[in-house]
Structure 1
Amino acid sequence: MNIKRGSTTFLKVFLFLAGIAVLALCIFLVPRIANFASTLYPNIALMKYLIFIVMYGAAVPFYFALYQTFNLLRYIEENTAFSDLSVKALKNIKYCAVTISGFYIVGMPLFSFIAKKVDPPVGFIGLIIIFASFVIAVFAAILQRLLQEAINIKSENDLTV
Protein backbone atom coordinates (compact mmCIF):
# COMPACT_ATOMS: atom_id res chain seq x y z
CA MET A 1 0.00 0.00 0.00
CA ASN A 2 2.81 2.41 0.89
CA ILE A 3 4.73 1.60 -2.30
CA LYS A 4 1.63 2.26 -4.39
CA ARG A 5 1.01 5.63 -2.74
CA GLY A 6 4.68 6.56 -3.17
CA SER A 7 4.61 5.66 -6.84
CA THR A 8 1.41 7.58 -7.51
CA THR A 9 2.71 10.57 -5.56
CA PHE A 10 5.88 10.55 -7.67
CA LEU A 11 3.78 10.44 -10.84
CA LYS A 12 1.53 13.25 -9.57
CA VAL A 13 4.61 15.40 -8.91
CA PHE A 14 5.86 14.58 -12.41
CA LEU A 15 2.47 15.59 -13.88
CA PHE A 16 2.56 18.84 -11.95
CA LEU A 17 6.09 19.61 -13.20
CA ALA A 18 5.09 18.76 -16.77
CA GLY A 19 2.15 21.13 -16.47
CA ILE A 20 4.38 23.91 -15.18
CA ALA A 21 6.91 23.29 -17.97
CA VAL A 22 4.26 23.51 -20.68
CA LEU A 23 2.78 26.60 -19.03
CA ALA A 24 6.21 28.23 -19.06
CA LEU A 25 6.59 27.34 -22.74
CA CYS A 26 3.17 28.81 -23.47
CA ILE A 27 3.95 32.02 -21.62
CA PHE A 28 7.53 32.62 -22.75
CA LEU A 29 8.30 30.60 -25.88
CA VAL A 30 5.09 30.59 -27.94
CA PRO A 31 4.89 34.42 -28.20
CA ARG A 32 8.55 34.51 -29.26
CA ILE A 33 7.96 31.86 -31.91
CA ALA A 34 4.88 33.72 -33.17
CA ASN A 35 6.74 37.05 -33.30
CA PHE A 36 9.69 35.39 -35.03
CA ALA A 37 7.42 33.80 -37.62
CA SER A 38 5.69 37.11 -38.27
CA THR A 39 9.07 38.81 -38.85
CA LEU A 40 10.10 36.05 -41.25
CA TYR A 41 6.96 36.55 -43.30
CA PRO A 42 5.75 40.12 -42.74
CA ASN A 43 3.52 39.93 -45.82
CA ILE A 44 1.42 37.18 -44.17
CA ALA A 45 -0.57 39.05 -41.54
CA LEU A 46 -2.11 35.96 -39.94
CA MET A 47 1.18 34.14 -39.37
CA LYS A 48 1.38 35.09 -35.69
CA TYR A 49 -2.22 34.10 -35.01
CA LEU A 50 -1.91 30.78 -36.80
CA ILE A 51 1.04 29.90 -34.54
CA PHE A 52 -1.04 30.89 -31.50
CA ILE A 53 -3.99 28.78 -32.67
CA VAL A 54 -1.88 25.66 -33.24
CA MET A 55 0.26 25.84 -30.12
CA TYR A 56 -2.28 27.16 -27.61
CA GLY A 57 -4.95 24.96 -29.17
CA ALA A 58 -2.78 21.90 -28.48
CA ALA A 59 -2.14 23.07 -24.92
CA VAL A 60 -5.83 22.81 -23.99
CA PRO A 61 -6.18 19.05 -24.61
CA PHE A 62 -2.73 18.58 -23.03
CA TYR A 63 -3.97 20.05 -19.75
CA PHE A 64 -7.21 18.09 -19.94
CA ALA A 65 -5.17 14.90 -20.43
CA LEU A 66 -3.04 15.83 -17.40
CA TYR A 67 -6.21 16.24 -15.36
CA GLN A 68 -7.51 12.86 -16.55
CA THR A 69 -4.17 11.24 -15.72
CA PHE A 70 -4.30 12.80 -12.25
CA ASN A 71 -7.79 11.31 -11.81
CA LEU A 72 -6.54 7.92 -12.98
CA LEU A 73 -3.76 8.00 -10.38
CA ARG A 74 -6.31 8.94 -7.73
CA TYR A 75 -8.45 5.94 -8.72
CA ILE A 76 -5.39 3.73 -8.32
CA GLU A 77 -4.78 5.13 -4.83
CA GLU A 78 -8.42 4.55 -3.87
CA ASN A 79 -8.33 0.94 -5.16
CA THR A 80 -11.01 1.76 -7.76
CA ALA A 81 -8.73 1.41 -10.78
CA PHE A 82 -10.88 -1.39 -12.19
CA SER A 83 -13.90 0.80 -12.78
CA ASP A 84 -15.71 2.47 -15.62
CA LEU A 85 -14.29 5.80 -14.45
CA SER A 86 -10.78 4.58 -15.24
CA VAL A 87 -11.89 3.38 -18.67
CA LYS A 88 -13.47 6.78 -19.31
CA ALA A 89 -10.29 8.58 -18.19
CA LEU A 90 -8.17 6.47 -20.56
CA LYS A 91 -10.63 7.15 -23.37
CA ASN A 92 -10.38 10.90 -22.72
CA ILE A 93 -6.57 10.71 -22.65
CA LYS A 94 -6.66 8.90 -26.00
CA TYR A 95 -8.89 11.59 -27.53
CA CYS A 96 -6.70 14.35 -26.14
CA ALA A 97 -3.57 12.79 -27.63
CA VAL A 98 -5.26 12.45 -31.02
CA THR A 99 -6.42 16.08 -30.79
CA ILE A 100 -2.90 17.29 -30.02
CA SER A 101 -1.61 15.33 -33.00
CA GLY A 102 -4.36 16.82 -35.11
CA PHE A 103 -3.39 20.37 -34.19
CA TYR A 104 0.23 19.74 -35.11
CA ILE A 105 -0.66 17.87 -38.30
CA VAL A 106 -2.74 20.86 -39.39
CA GLY A 107 0.11 23.17 -38.36
CA MET A 108 2.88 21.18 -40.09
CA PRO A 109 2.64 23.10 -43.38
CA LEU A 110 2.99 26.29 -41.35
CA PHE A 111 6.02 24.96 -39.50
CA SER A 112 7.63 23.66 -42.67
CA PHE A 113 7.02 27.06 -44.24
CA ILE A 114 8.93 28.64 -41.33
CA ALA A 115 11.62 25.94 -41.48
CA LYS A 116 12.50 26.98 -45.03
CA LYS A 117 14.02 30.18 -43.64
CA VAL A 118 15.44 28.78 -40.41
CA ASP A 119 18.59 26.72 -40.03
CA PRO A 120 17.55 24.21 -37.30
CA PRO A 121 14.90 21.72 -38.37
CA VAL A 122 11.78 23.27 -36.79
CA GLY A 123 9.51 20.89 -38.68
CA PHE A 124 11.26 17.95 -37.06
CA ILE A 125 10.07 19.10 -33.62
CA GLY A 126 6.49 19.10 -34.87
CA LEU A 127 6.94 15.56 -36.17
CA ILE A 128 8.24 14.46 -32.77
CA ILE A 129 5.17 15.93 -31.06
CA ILE A 130 2.86 14.24 -33.57
CA PHE A 131 4.61 10.88 -33.16
CA ALA A 132 4.69 11.09 -29.34
CA SER A 133 1.00 12.00 -29.21
CA PHE A 134 0.08 9.09 -31.45
CA VAL A 135 2.13 6.71 -29.31
CA ILE A 136 0.30 7.96 -26.22
CA ALA A 137 -3.05 7.58 -27.99
CA VAL A 138 -2.28 3.99 -29.01
CA PHE A 139 -1.00 3.15 -25.53
CA ALA A 140 -4.11 4.65 -23.91
CA ALA A 141 -6.35 2.75 -26.35
CA ILE A 142 -4.64 -0.54 -25.53
CA LEU A 143 -4.87 0.10 -21.79
CA GLN A 144 -8.52 1.13 -22.17
CA ARG A 145 -9.34 -2.11 -23.98
CA LEU A 146 -7.42 -4.27 -21.51
CA LEU A 147 -9.02 -2.54 -18.55
CA GLN A 148 -12.49 -2.93 -20.04
CA GLU A 149 -11.84 -6.64 -20.61
CA ALA A 150 -10.59 -7.02 -17.04
CA ILE A 151 -13.71 -5.28 -15.73
CA ASN A 152 -15.90 -7.57 -17.85
CA ILE A 153 -14.10 -10.69 -16.56
CA LYS A 154 -14.37 -9.41 -12.98
CA SER A 155 -18.11 -8.77 -13.34
CA GLU A 156 -18.62 -12.24 -14.87
CA ASN A 157 -16.74 -13.79 -11.95
CA ASP A 158 -18.81 -11.80 -9.47
CA LEU A 159 -22.00 -13.06 -11.09
CA THR A 160 -20.93 -16.72 -11.03
CA VAL A 161 -19.99 -16.69 -7.36
Structure 2
Amino acid sequence: MKRETLFLKIAVFLIGAPIVALCVLGLPWLAMDVAESDSKLAYVVYGILVVMYISAIPFFIALFQAFKLLSFIDKNNAFSELSVKALKTIKKCAIAISLLYVAAMPLFYILAEVDDAPGIILIGMIFIFGAAVIAVFAAVLQKLLKNAIDIKSENDLTV
Protein backbone atom coordinates (compact mmCIF):
# COMPACT_ATOMS: atom_id res chain seq x y z
CA MET A 1 0.00 0.00 0.00
CA LYS A 2 1.40 3.35 -1.00
CA ARG A 3 1.79 6.17 1.48
CA GLU A 4 0.00 8.62 -0.80
CA THR A 5 -3.30 6.79 -0.64
CA LEU A 6 -2.98 5.39 2.87
CA PHE A 7 -4.18 8.68 4.37
CA LEU A 8 -7.16 8.75 1.99
CA LYS A 9 -8.07 5.15 2.77
CA ILE A 10 -7.97 5.92 6.48
CA ALA A 11 -10.17 8.95 5.78
CA VAL A 12 -12.70 6.73 3.98
CA PHE A 13 -12.89 4.50 7.06
CA LEU A 14 -13.16 7.53 9.36
CA ILE A 15 -16.02 8.88 7.25
CA GLY A 16 -17.88 5.58 7.44
CA ALA A 17 -17.37 4.92 11.16
CA PRO A 18 -19.70 7.65 12.48
CA ILE A 19 -22.42 6.61 10.04
CA VAL A 20 -22.15 3.00 11.22
CA ALA A 21 -22.35 4.21 14.83
CA LEU A 22 -25.37 6.34 13.96
CA CYS A 23 -27.14 3.43 12.25
CA VAL A 24 -26.35 0.95 15.02
CA LEU A 25 -26.69 3.15 18.11
CA GLY A 26 -28.14 6.59 17.38
CA LEU A 27 -31.14 5.92 15.18
CA PRO A 28 -32.49 2.95 17.23
CA TRP A 29 -32.14 5.07 20.38
CA LEU A 30 -34.10 7.86 18.69
CA ALA A 31 -36.79 5.43 17.56
CA MET A 32 -37.17 4.03 21.09
CA ASP A 33 -37.28 7.54 22.52
CA VAL A 34 -40.07 8.52 20.13
CA ALA A 35 -41.98 5.31 20.87
CA GLU A 36 -41.82 5.94 24.62
CA SER A 37 -42.84 9.60 24.34
CA ASP A 38 -46.30 8.74 22.94
CA SER A 39 -45.95 11.61 20.46
CA LYS A 40 -48.42 12.40 17.71
CA LEU A 41 -45.46 12.91 15.38
CA ALA A 42 -44.09 9.41 15.72
CA TYR A 43 -45.03 8.54 12.13
CA VAL A 44 -43.10 11.57 10.85
CA VAL A 45 -39.97 10.71 12.84
CA TYR A 46 -40.24 7.05 11.79
CA GLY A 47 -40.49 8.14 8.15
CA ILE A 48 -37.35 10.24 8.48
CA LEU A 49 -35.58 7.33 10.19
CA VAL A 50 -36.54 4.98 7.36
CA VAL A 51 -35.13 7.43 4.81
CA MET A 52 -31.93 7.71 6.85
CA TYR A 53 -31.52 3.93 6.96
CA ILE A 54 -32.26 3.55 3.25
CA SER A 55 -29.82 6.35 2.37
CA ALA A 56 -27.09 4.56 4.32
CA ILE A 57 -27.07 1.82 1.65
CA PRO A 58 -25.97 4.04 -1.29
CA PHE A 59 -23.66 5.92 1.08
CA PHE A 60 -21.71 2.77 1.92
CA ILE A 61 -21.74 1.64 -1.71
CA ALA A 62 -20.18 4.99 -2.66
CA LEU A 63 -17.58 4.66 0.13
CA PHE A 64 -16.67 1.19 -1.11
CA GLN A 65 -16.31 2.53 -4.66
CA ALA A 66 -14.07 5.33 -3.36
CA PHE A 67 -11.93 2.71 -1.62
CA LYS A 68 -11.75 0.72 -4.88
CA LEU A 69 -10.74 3.88 -6.73
CA LEU A 70 -7.89 4.41 -4.28
CA SER A 71 -6.84 0.79 -4.80
CA PHE A 72 -6.74 1.39 -8.56
CA ILE A 73 -4.49 4.39 -7.93
CA ASP A 74 -2.21 2.19 -5.79
CA LYS A 75 -1.89 -0.31 -8.63
CA ASN A 76 -1.12 2.44 -11.19
CA ASN A 77 -4.41 1.62 -12.86
CA ALA A 78 -6.12 4.97 -12.26
CA PHE A 79 -6.67 5.69 -15.95
CA SER A 80 -8.89 2.74 -16.72
CA GLU A 81 -12.50 1.96 -17.45
CA LEU A 82 -12.78 0.49 -13.94
CA SER A 83 -12.10 3.93 -12.48
CA VAL A 84 -14.72 5.48 -14.74
CA LYS A 85 -17.19 2.82 -13.64
CA ALA A 86 -16.42 3.50 -9.96
CA LEU A 87 -17.00 7.23 -10.44
CA LYS A 88 -20.24 6.51 -12.28
CA THR A 89 -21.43 4.38 -9.34
CA ILE A 90 -20.48 7.12 -6.87
CA LYS A 91 -22.46 9.62 -8.98
CA LYS A 92 -25.54 7.36 -9.06
CA CYS A 93 -25.35 6.78 -5.30
CA ALA A 94 -25.13 10.51 -4.60
CA ILE A 95 -28.13 11.15 -6.87
CA ALA A 96 -30.07 8.40 -5.06
CA ILE A 97 -29.31 9.98 -1.68
CA SER A 98 -30.43 13.40 -2.94
CA LEU A 99 -33.67 11.97 -4.30
CA LEU A 100 -34.39 10.13 -1.06
CA TYR A 101 -34.07 13.32 0.95
CA VAL A 102 -36.09 15.30 -1.60
CA ALA A 103 -38.86 12.73 -1.09
CA ALA A 104 -38.48 13.13 2.69
CA MET A 105 -38.69 16.94 2.67
CA PRO A 106 -42.44 16.97 3.41
CA LEU A 107 -41.67 15.00 6.57
CA PHE A 108 -39.01 17.53 7.57
CA TYR A 109 -41.54 20.30 6.89
CA ILE A 110 -44.21 18.70 9.09
CA LEU A 111 -41.71 18.21 11.89
CA ALA A 112 -40.50 21.81 11.56
CA GLU A 113 -44.07 23.17 11.64
CA VAL A 114 -45.06 21.26 14.76
CA ASP A 115 -41.84 21.91 16.67
CA ASP A 116 -41.71 25.51 15.41
CA ALA A 117 -38.10 24.94 14.38
CA PRO A 118 -37.42 26.02 10.79
CA GLY A 119 -33.80 24.87 11.14
CA ILE A 120 -34.99 21.29 10.68
CA ILE A 121 -35.81 22.09 7.05
CA LEU A 122 -32.26 23.41 6.59
CA ILE A 123 -30.89 20.13 7.90
CA GLY A 124 -32.86 18.27 5.22
CA MET A 125 -31.60 20.70 2.60
CA ILE A 126 -27.99 20.12 3.68
CA PHE A 127 -28.39 16.41 2.96
CA ILE A 128 -29.87 17.16 -0.47
CA PHE A 129 -27.30 19.71 -1.57
CA GLY A 130 -24.34 17.88 -0.05
CA ALA A 131 -25.14 14.76 -2.02
CA ALA A 132 -25.87 16.83 -5.14
CA VAL A 133 -22.46 18.49 -4.93
CA ILE A 134 -20.81 15.08 -4.68
CA ALA A 135 -22.82 13.87 -7.69
CA VAL A 136 -21.73 16.86 -9.80
CA PHE A 137 -18.12 16.49 -8.70
CA ALA A 138 -18.14 12.75 -9.55
CA ALA A 139 -19.72 13.47 -12.94
CA VAL A 140 -17.03 16.05 -13.76
CA LEU A 141 -14.26 13.67 -12.68
CA GLN A 142 -15.86 10.85 -14.67
CA LYS A 143 -15.94 13.00 -17.81
CA LEU A 144 -12.35 14.19 -17.34
CA LEU A 145 -11.12 10.66 -16.71
CA LYS A 146 -12.96 9.33 -19.76
CA ASN A 147 -11.37 12.07 -21.92
CA ALA A 148 -7.92 11.31 -20.48
CA ILE A 149 -8.37 7.61 -21.24
CA ASP A 150 -9.40 8.43 -24.81
CA ILE A 151 -6.34 10.68 -25.28
CA LYS A 152 -4.10 8.01 -23.77
CA SER A 153 -5.44 5.32 -26.10
CA GLU A 154 -4.94 7.64 -29.10
CA ASN A 155 -1.34 8.28 -28.06
CA ASP A 156 -0.70 4.57 -27.62
CA LEU A 157 -1.89 3.96 -31.18
CA THR A 158 0.31 6.66 -32.74
CA VAL A 159 3.66 5.02 -32.00
- Output the TM-score relative to the length of structure 1: 0.88
AA in 2 matched with 1:139: F
Change (3 A) 1:68 1:24: same
Instruction: Tell me which of 89, 92, 102 is aligned to 2:89.
Output: 92
AA in 2 matched with 1:154: K
Provide the C-alpha distance between the structure 2 equivalents of 1:138 and 1:40, rounded to a whole number of angstroms: 42
Provide the C-alpha distance between the structure 2 equivalents of 1:130 and 1:48, rounded to a whole number of angstroms: 18
Q: How many residues align?
A: 157
Change (3 A) 1:27 1:120: farther
Worse-superposed segment, 19-28 or 64-73: 19-28
Deviation at 1:117, TM superposition (A): 2.8
Preserved CA contact (<8 Å) 1:37 1:114: no
Query: Cα RMSD (Å) of the superposition?
Result: 2.1
Q: Does residue 157 of the first structure (1) align with residue 152 of the second (2)?
A: no
Q: Classify the secondary structure of the residue corresponding to 1:80.
A: coil
Q: Classify the secondary structure of the residue corresponding to 1:81.
A: coil
Provide the C-alpha distance between the structure 1 equivalents of 2:118 and 2:26, rounded to a whole number of angstroms: 16
Preserved CA contact (<8 Å) 1:111 1:122: yes
Provide the C-alpha distance between the structure 1 equivalents of 2:72 and 2:33, rounded to a whole number of angstroms: 43
Structure 2 segments unaligned to the other structure (5+ residues):
none
Identity rate, percent: 50
Preserved CA contact (<8 Å) 2:62 2:89: yes
Alignment of 1:61-80 (within 5 A): 61-80=58-77
Change (3 A) 1:96 1:156: same
Q: Does residue 102 of the first structure (1) align with residue 120 of the second (2)?
A: no
Change (3 A) 1:28 1:112: farther
AA in 2 matched with 1:89: A
Q: Does residue 31 of the first structure (1) align with residue 28 of the second (2)?
A: yes
Deviation at 1:105, TM superposition (A): 0.7
AA in 2 matched with 1:62: F
- What is the CA deviation profile of residues 93-130 of structure 1, one whole-angstrom value per residue up to 9, with x for unaligned ones? 00000001111111111012112233471221111111
Deviation at 1:28, TM superposition (A): 2.5
Structure 1 segments unaligned to the other structure (5+ residues):
none
Preserved CA contact (<8 Å) 1:87 1:148: yes
Deviation at 1:41, TM superposition (A): 4.8
